[in-house]
Structure formats: C-alpha cells, structure tokens
Amino acid sequence: MAAAPSQTFANHGRYVPLYHFALGAILAANLVFTIVHVARHPTLYQAWIGLAMAVGFLIIFWYARDFAKTVQDRVIRLEETLRMERLLPPDLKSRIGELTVRQLVGLRFASDAELVTLVRRALDERLDQRSIKQSVQHWRPDHLRA
C-alpha cells in the first residue's frame, strides 16, 4: 500500500467527494425541484411526500456527519487526555480538565516534543483550535478521521 501523503495545516481537512459534494448536491437539488413541483401542484400529499421527505433527507445528511464527528471528538478527547497524562509535567497534568474539546482536537496534531509548550500556550492564552493547529511545527498526521 502506498504511504499516505504528508499532512499539514493546509491540507489536513478531509472531504469525501461522493458524500460532501455529490450527495449534498443531489439532496439540495431534490429540495429545489420539490419546492418547484409543490408550487406548481399544491396538494397536501405533494407537500408531505415531497417537502417533508426532501427536508428529512437533508436533516439525515447533516446529522450523519455531525454524529460521526461528535464520536470522533470523544475518542480524540480520550486519546489526548491519556497522551497528556504520560507527557505533561505535574503542573500541567492538573490542568488537563481546563482544556476544551476544541483545544484537544487541535492539540492532537502536535508532536510529543512540542505538546507541553502548546498545552501551556493553549491554557494561558486561551488559544482556539485553529490557532493551535497553526502553531504546530511538527505535524502528527491523522488519516483515520470520520
């Protein structure tokens, strides 16, 4: 199997083209066509079957991704807490609970060597996820994201 490409802040976002672009576009187009159809043929049946289902499909599309990201964030929180328990000095270990989930998600990309410095900065400067990721010098790739 070919090695995964190097990952950086600039290219770490993950899109699944068939899901994000093809399915998203199909569902959005379905909603538009359904609205036009219901406007031309306004019946309760058309409104229910057409609009309710089109909106329902979009809700499923949104929450399928949202639920997966929530579970992923919980796993990242656990993994990073365990990693920090192993790597941080005592003064920072006692502050792990002060880190937000978003900060932990950003810190997962930091190498072990720079973790202590970034955790201290994240806590003291209240860095957000994006700022933390931009501060990472030695990126730990994560190719197993939802």
pLDDT-above-90 percentage for the chain: 75
Angle at CA 67, nearest 5°, toward 61 and 72? 130
The reply to whether 131 falls in a domain is yes
Predicted TM-score (pTM) of this structure: 0.77
Q: What is the mean pLDDT of the chain?
A: 91
Both 96 and 63 in a single domain? no
Query: Which pLDDT belongs to residue 144?
Result: 79
Residue 8 to residues 77, 104, 105, 119: CA-CA distances in angstroms? 21, 17, 15, 19
Query: Which pLDDT belongs to residue 1?
Result: 52
Both 57 and 22 in a single domain? yes
40 pLDDT higher than 70: yes
Number of domains in the chain: 2
137 pLDDT higher than 90: yes
Both 64 and 92 in a single domain? no
Contact 114, 128 (CB under 8 A): no
- Residue 104 makes CB contacts below 8 A (sequence gap 6+) with 76, 77, 80, 81
The reply to whether 3 falls in a domain is no
Both 38 and 66 in a single domain? yes
Tens digits of residue pLDDT in 54-90: 999 999 999 999 999 999 999 999 999 999 999 999 9
Residue span of the structural domain in which 102 resides:
88-141
The reply to whether 4 falls in a domain is no
